[in-house]
């Protein structure tokens, strides 16, 4: 827990074969915002069109290609959401019989 009471939280999901997986962090408390700290993603086999994207962040959104099977992570200085805005992070469908997994580490600040 941080001094101001914010807690680091984790949310995640798994797709079916050839389906995207989206982690949605809902709208924060009034006047609040989220900070995204890291994203961990994996595909069960080499993906076709593998990609991580986001919505709800201030400025540049995540938009990264993934070209190999296995897991990988992105850790960054905290990326802020717009005030009163949730964040969605999506791992694109990986192709026939490919399963995706996605975890997002974040905190809400008043």
Domains of the chain: 8-109 (2.60.120)
Residue 89's closest CA among 110, 107, 105? 105
> Band of the pLDDT at 2, cuts 50, 70, 90?
low
Mean pLDDT of 7-36: 93
Q: Output b/e per residue, 12-49; b: 16+ Cβ within 10 A.
A: ebebeeeebbebebeebeeeebbbbbbbbbbbbeebee
pLDDT band at 1 (very low <50, low <70, confident <90, very high): very low
Per-residue pLDDT, averaged over 92-110, amounts to 93
Six token digits for residue 82: 């717009």
Q: Residue 6: what pLDDT?
A: 74
**What are the φ and ψ backbone dihedral angles of 37, each rounded to 5 degrees?**
-105, -40
Q: Quote the pLDDT of residue 7.
A: 81
In the prediction, which pLDDT does 76 show? 86
Mean pLDDT, rounded, for 9-22 = 95
């Amino acid at each position: 827990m941080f001094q101001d009471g914010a807690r680091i939280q984790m949310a995640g999901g798994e797709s079916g074969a050839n389906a995207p997986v989206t982690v949605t962090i809902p709208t924060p408390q009034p006047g609040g915002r989220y900070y995204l700290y890291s994203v961990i993603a994996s595909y069960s086999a080499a993906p076709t069109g593998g990609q991580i994207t986001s919505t709800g962040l201030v400025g540049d959104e995540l938009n990264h290609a993934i070209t190999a099977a296995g897991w990988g992570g992105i850790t960054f200085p905290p990326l802020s959401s717009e005030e009163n805005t949730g964040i969605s992070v999506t791992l694109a469908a990986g192709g026939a019989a490919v399963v995706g997994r996605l975890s997002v580490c974040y905190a809400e600040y008043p």
